Copies of this chain bind each other. A is one copy, B any other.
Amino acid sequence: MSAMIDFARKVLAAQPANTLVGAELTQFEPGRATLELPIRPHHLQQHGVVHGGLVSFMADNALTFAGGSVLGDVMTLEFKINYMRPAKGERLIARARVTGSGRTTAVCHCDLYALEAGAEKHCATAQGTIFKLEGKGG
């Protein structure tokens, strides 16, 4: 399993956009992936909470990694997110899981929590479809 998360972290590290944002992969196993964002001032919007667009960035990423944990090389076809509470505090944690999967697609859910003063608050929830990219000679 350690090899598995190491591989997934290399994928994440190979994404310049993720370096820009700063998410960290803290769990990656068959059917589950967790991404965490240490919240910094440059992640906020004008009211001092994490920008919703970055919450969706985290959801998209976590859903894709969860789907990839069972399907291999994948792309996100679509997802939907409901925002429930502003995200503020020390970390934004995106926990994604595979709800159902077939040969080419996986339906995944992701719940996002803000860790503030040691307590997690449920900030958003997302649901999406991950699609397996067919191998191209390798």
How many Å lie between the Cα of A11 and that of B46 in the bound state?
7
Is A81 part of the contact surface with B, judged by Cβ < 8 Å?
yes
Contacts of A59 in B (CB 8 A): 56
Q: List chain B residues, Cβ under 8 A from A109.
A: 109, 125
Whether the Cβ atoms of A46 and B76 lie closer than 8 Å is no
Q: What is the CA–CA distance of A19 and B43 in the complex, to the nearest angstrom?
A: 9
The answer, among B64, B80, B81, B84, for a CB contact under 8 Å with A100, is B84
B60 touches A42 (CB 8 A): no
Min CB distance A38 to B, Å, is 14
Task: Closest B residue to A53 by CB, please name it.
Answer: B57
Q: CB of A52 within 8 A of chain B?
A: yes
A127 touches which of B45, B83, B127 (Cβ 8 Å): B127
Residues of B within 8 Å of A53, CB to CB, are 17-18, 21, 56-58, 60-61
> What are some 6 contacts across the A-B interface (CB < 8 A)?
A17-B44, A19-B42, A20-B43, A53-B58, A56-B59, A100-B125
